[in-house]
Structure formats: C-alpha cells, structure tokens
Amino acid sequence: MATTKKPRNPEDFEDPQAAEPSDDDASEDEDDLEFEATDPEDEDIEPGDDDEEDGGAGSADEKIVQLKAEVEQALFARKPVSVAAMAAEEVYVGVDNVVGVGLGAPERDFESIGDEGPGGQVLNIYVAEPASMEEVRAAVFDGFGVQALGDDRVPVNVICTGPIDAQPHRHKARPAPGGISVGHFRITAGTLGCLARGRSGARQNRVLMLSNNHVLANTNNAARGDNIIQPGRADGGINPRDRIAILERFVRIDFAGRPNFVDCATGWCWHKLVRRELIYRSGGQWRFFRISSRPRACRVGMIVGKSGRTTQLTAGRITDCNASIRVNYGNGRVGNFKDQITIRGLHGDFSRGGDSGSAVWSYDARRNPVGLLFAGGGGFTFANKMSRVLTALDINLWT
C-alpha cells in the first residue's frame, strides 16, 4: 500500500508540469493512462443510509430480467448501420430502430404496464424514431429472434429517445467551478463535472478534474499531457492561453463490440485555477454550491440534479438503473454500453449537447453523487454509475 501522505490543504497540492512528467511518473508505463473497461463483481458502492442497493432491478420478475439480457445480447451483436443505408435514409427501420433496452417502472404515458399493474417492473425498449407497441414487438421478435416479445402479456415501455449521441459539445471563470465549459483543446466543449484526487501514490497530491473521455481525451484520440482548456473551444477558449489542466488518465472506449461501462477521464489541474463548488444561475447572479464526496447507489424513481455547460441547473427522475444502449460517437463509431442510468427531465430536457461530463447527484440536502452524464437523446439522458467511474479511474471525489 502506498504511504504517500494526503495533502491537508490546497497549498500542499502539486501542479502539473508544462513539459515532462515528474520523477514520480517516470516509472509509469506509457499505457497506464488508458484502462480497459471492466465489470467488477464486488464493486464498492456506498449507498445512502436509507437506500437499498438493488440497482433498481432487484424486485424485477426473473423472466423480465432474462428477457432484457436476451435483447441486450442481440442488440450489441448488430453491426453499425452502413453508409449506404444512411444515404438512403433507412437508418431507423425495423430492428435498426431499437437503440437500447433496460428495466424500469411503468408510467401512465407508456403503453403497457403488465399483469402486476402500476409500480411493477417492465422492459424498457428505447427507439430512435417513434413507433407503435406492435411495431416494436414485431421488430424485436423478427429481427432479434426474441420470441417472448410476441406475447402481449409481457410488459413493455416503448421510449423514443431519438438517436442516442455522445454529447461532446459559456464564460471563462477563475477559479473554475464544476458545471462549466471545458474540453480537450481539439474538441468543441463539454462540462467539468467536479474535482477528485487519486487514491494512491503521487496521485493523492494532485487536484484532478472529472469529466468524460470524449470531453477531456477527444474520444481516445489524445495523449498524456495534452492541454485542457476552459472554456472549451466552442465557447471561445484558446489553446494554450486558456489552459487549466492537462490530460492525466482516461478509460478507453471500445468500438469493436465489447461492452463499455464508463466514458470517463481525469485532467491534472493547476489547483489555484479550479474550485470545489459547482455553479448555477439565480436571480441574475452566478451562485455556487457543494455536493457530497460520497457516492450513492442508483434507484428507479430517485430525483437527481446536475449543473452543466448548456442547460445549467436541472432536475430529473431516474427511470432505469440497468440500461444497455448503443451510443453514436460520429465517424462510424458506435459504442455498446451496459449498466447505465436513464434520466428524464422533470421540467423539459435534463441535458443537451455540451452537458457531457456533468456530475449527477441526488436532489436532496445530501447531494450524493450518483452518476456521470455522458449521452442523451429525445429528452432522455444517460449517465455512467459514479461508483464504476471512481473504480475505473482509481480516484476519490474531492468536493
């Protein structure tokens, strides 16, 4: 176990060097920056005292859980839509219209609640274009060979998200708070989620910003030490003038068909240029607040909040804690993601493009982190589970 002493105050933190890594980093493998996504069985989740750690699906009928797994397997096995199909505008026809599957609770504006009635677990089928219940059932039955969907008694929610896109896309602030525009110097703009520290070694002495791979690491296309600017380039940020951090670590996104669990990265900050608070607008003034450093487990029905670059402070309700989705990153790259959180805004969209990287937290006095926002479509937002993010990057939140 590392014996590096944790800093007691911000003045003890080390700032990144502009050129070569420090001596502490010299022995690190060049590939240490990147990690393969894993699916740990014994993931350390810290729910709130009043939470049940059921991932939102603990009470689901076993047949529904198995059905979800069957649809997920078929969904992830499909090849990306061809360029010819895109040109012919046949992208979202039949089974190609299905972009995700998960478990949730029936709502009055969905079409099927099943035999268990209101409050029971149902299968969520996410589609890119509006489709009827019959069309969706037929598509999954015929295209995926999932025969159980031919039974009208199987409860299904048809949820139109539109295409699920990674959201890679306003003022300069020093010190910069969470919820503000930031990004790798080659991307448009995303959101600085919050601050963190490494769990061991020299990384304990670093102030790290947390956001997405596609925000800080240019969707795998970046190198250690690359400049991160605030605001992002789309919001007027100029490299290197507006540099606030350098790329420190990221989890590589797999586009070859293997499942991903996180889209996340850290930037090593000049600690005097950032702050632990998050930002929001109230009464025409910028105001600041803190969130907890203690993660909380996802629960269907939980009210959550986020502060992001585009839509600022918003609230939403978690509708799924176990969604499996296909996410479009552009240029023919599609990533399969498992075990994701689905959020629906309470008053309009919970997020839009440029909000990627926002920390998602319980909308209560504790404000416990629940997820890391990374994608969305059709009024629905998707987030990685925060516990997975912290494990993958080997960090603790510093909020």
Segment 20-47, tens digit of pLDDT: 444 444 334 334 444 444 443 333 433 3
Q: What CATH number does domain 166-397 carry, 2.60.120.200, 3.40.1110.10, 2.40.10.10, 1.10.3720.10?
A: 2.40.10.10
pLDDT digits (tens, 9 = 90+) for 254-275: 999 999 999 999 999 999 999 9
Q: Residue ranges per domain, the chain?
A: 62-160, 166-397
In sequence order, the 6+-apart residues with CB closer than 8 A to the CB of 251 are 34, 35, 36, 37, 213, 262, 263, 264, 265, 392, 393
**Confidence band for 81, pLDDT divided at 50, 70 and 90:** low
Q: Which residues pair with 303 in a beta bridge?
A: 317
pLDDT digits (tens, 9 = 90+) for 359-368: 999 999 999 9
pLDDT of residue 151: 80
Q: Which residues of 41-62 are buried (b: 16+ CB within 10 A; e: fewer)?
A: eeeebebbeebeeebbbeebbe
pLDDT of residue 88: 46
Q: Work out the average pLDDT over 132-138.
A: 91
Q: Work out the average pLDDT over 95-120.
A: 70
pLDDT digits (tens, 9 = 90+) for 271-310: 999 999 999 887 667 889 999 999 999 999 999 999 999 9
